Structure 1
């Protein structure tokens, strides 16, 4: 097991990296970003960017591959927009078989392997002896796809499970084991967690907590990969879990079916849930609502809602802002993780020797005036740790209650 993990820590399996190969990769990293980013130096100056690269090149002989990658992640963050990043998509790293979310300033275990299922819902207090507030601030300078405090908390929680990154930034002594101290139901305990091979991570996480409504038994569900529509409250509410963007062709077929279902049912209220959507192509979202705006039975004055959270990023944030205008939708939930006036439309390239992926922004859009670098909800409803534990969705509950209040008011 240790040998397998040691192999996985090597950040690219093709061949060992050398100073010369890293030097070539860094030169390509700089050249590609300068050639392709729409405005690379909108936040960091050219002089500071080059100074950081010179320092990294000089220090290459003294750093491990994982440390060099971490330093490039940190430097890319300094560019200052969420679509210019170095995610670990192409980088196999051992993972701790846990998933986290940062909720109300605390790291909460929301996913686990069967071995660690008893940790679900627990709050993490220490990470290898370090308080989690310190861990958060240390990791926050490296994680990708950050545009505000909301997306920062989302990405820190996501990247806690990357064992080699944790070691590279000084949060762990090794990439094989983790000692965490957790509390649940008033009891504190320390647990050692062993990292697993990266290819095994997805299948290993079998136990999860979620606040989301289970639509599997709803007979009215219309679904494609990433999007599910269900009619609730005797078909008076169309609830759409919009988690990922499909192709234009798939969306066209889904939108046709959805429009027919809503029209036949006489549905008056529309709820579009972007809380788990990290983005895609916002034109596909616009194509979807183009099929809905012709439905005269919908309550276009008060009956359209968009649900958002810190995970609402990129195109999902764009569509949230656009739907507030086009559909006169009210935004309910928490601020988006992306800035409605900023850099988007992601391009990417791969460093030839290490194989690491680099993304960059190709366009700048401005959809609405940002509030703290986010689309602010019209009504703030927060999802708590206890909501995850109990499987209760406070945001959708608020919307359903608002619809009920309007119906009662209309009947009086």
Structure 2
């Protein structure tokens, strides 16, 4: 949970990889590449067994070794992307979200769309300017493969996926990754695919879309269907991923927290938040963790410490934490902390991370491919009951109608509860 930032840093570094270097169609492995991957898989097998706290807690050693042996035998007939997809699938057999063979830690490209799975539909919630007309549209197929079959193919491999909620989030993200779609045998060629959409007005729209580098993916997918802040402008902001806005009329503050800064910056920001809440006599505080995939939970505790000293807040019913399928690792842990320390009510979906699970991310690199592998070093029991995700106090299931209308059902419930005097 604390060391997930290691993976984030590696992923960020790959944004610099040029799209040009990835556009060549992958070929079946050459004999030298086969030998190198065999060495990598041998190293992977021994290093993972050495470093993981309990490698065979879900899949038996016999089954795990059998899958690796089968992959080694197939190497001469596979290309690089197919090998990576198989390594992802086999690593998923370990059965914990911090043990990964992350495609994002190597060169990768994305289609300039972002998806969300709502009421069983795969919907476009963000897109580049070229495809902004598909916001809200349902994804029907990719290169002729029906979307249900696409999801079935990807489900055993996408990461992380500690429970069904986290799986939905990971599936939606990996639908954008060109390498994965090609490696899984879904797309016909690398670099381009035919997406078919059903638009909200009932039209069927095919579109041939080219993939782009991750840097372009992040900068281009700026047309978004949803809203986040209930109030106009932030009063305090450390970054785009950590800021506070307030509404004087309802004496309510909304704190958006989607990634972790360093401890010093968080401490200073939290002190400013506490002073601002006290000065403005804020009674209600909403902490939004729905987009937070993890970091250092001790930094999250540094946020709560000054807030605990804020006497203006309604400590009986006025603290809320929004959670969802993307709330993972340290953010999941901090959701539990805030429920305990701040007397917060959790509202939204269960978290994508499990509160009783293997955790704390370690890593090593394969000697030939340089691919990163992560593993769990600890086991946490954040509650006595084993559940799929941290269960919210108020479960708000996102609906298709809410999504298409741009309504934030969980946030709307909280604001209504505040208006009604916490009835």
TM-score, shorter chain, exceeding 0.5? yes
- Is 2:175 the counterpart of 1:160? yes
Contact (CA 8 Å) 1:226, 1:246: kept in 2 or not? no
**Aligned length, in residue pairs:** 405
Tell me the residue number matched to 2:86: 71
Tell me the residue number matched to 1:221: 236
Indicate the RMSD between aligned Cα atoms, in angstroms.
2.4
When residues 97 and 53 of structure 1 are mapped into structure 2, their CA distance, relative to the original with a 3 A threshold, is same
Q: How does 1:336-375 map to 2 (within 5 A)?
A: 336-369=351-384, 372-375=387-390
2: CA distance between counterparts of 1:2 and 1:395?
38
- Is 2:179 the counterpart of 1:141? no
Contact (CA 8 Å) 1:307, 1:333: kept in 2 or not? yes
- Match for residue 295 of structure 1 among 310, 313, 317: 310
DSSP 3-state at the match of 1:292: helix
- What's the offset of the Cα at 1:3? 7.3
- Match for residue 395 of structure 2 among 374, 380, 403: 380
Tell me the residue number matched to 2:11: none
- Match for residue 288 of structure 2 among 273, 297, 302: 273
- Is 2:332 the counterpart of 1:314? no
Deviates more, 1:25-34 or 1:312-321: 25-34
- Is 2:251 the counterpart of 1:200? no
When residues 104 and 369 of structure 1 are mapped into structure 2, their CA distance, relative to the original with a 3 A threshold, is farther
Contact (CA 8 Å) 1:282, 1:316: kept in 2 or not? yes
Tell me the residue number matched to 2:12: none
DSSP 3-state at the match of 1:18: helix
1: CA distance between counterparts of 2:220 and 2:182?
22
1: CA distance between counterparts of 2:243 and 2:32?
44
Deviations 1:51-107 (A, max 9, x none): 111111122112111111111100000000011111222221232221111112111
Q: How does 1:240-279 map to 2 (within 5 A)?
A: 240-279=255-294
Contact (CA 8 Å) 2:27, 2:79: kept in 1 or not? no
- What's the offset of the Cα at 1:386? 4.1
- Is 2:224 the counterpart of 1:191? no
Tell me the residue number matched to 1:7: 24
Unaligned residue ranges in structure 2 (runs of 5+): 1-17
Deviates more, 1:362-371 or 1:153-162: 362-371
Deviates more, 1:101-110 or 1:361-370: 361-370
2: CA distance between counterparts of 1:69 and 1:374?
28
2: CA distance between counterparts of 1:68 and 1:136?
19
Unaligned residue ranges in structure 1 (runs of 5+): none
1: CA distance between counterparts of 2:153 and 2:408?
31
Contact (CA 8 Å) 1:100, 1:109: kept in 2 or not? yes
Tell me the residue number matched to 2:96: 81
When residues 116 and 404 of structure 1 are mapped into structure 2, their CA distance, relative to the original with a 3 A threshold, is same
Question: Scaled by the length of structure 1, what TM-score is found?
Answer: 0.92
2: CA distance between counterparts of 1:200 and 1:81?
31
Contact (CA 8 Å) 1:17, 1:354: kept in 2 or not? no
- Is 2:392 the counterpart of 1:392? no
Which 4+ stretches in 1 moved above 4 angstroms? 1-5, 8-11, 369-372
- Match for residue 228 of structure 2 among 192, 212, 216: 212
Question: Scaled by the length of structure 2, what TM-score is found?
Answer: 0.89
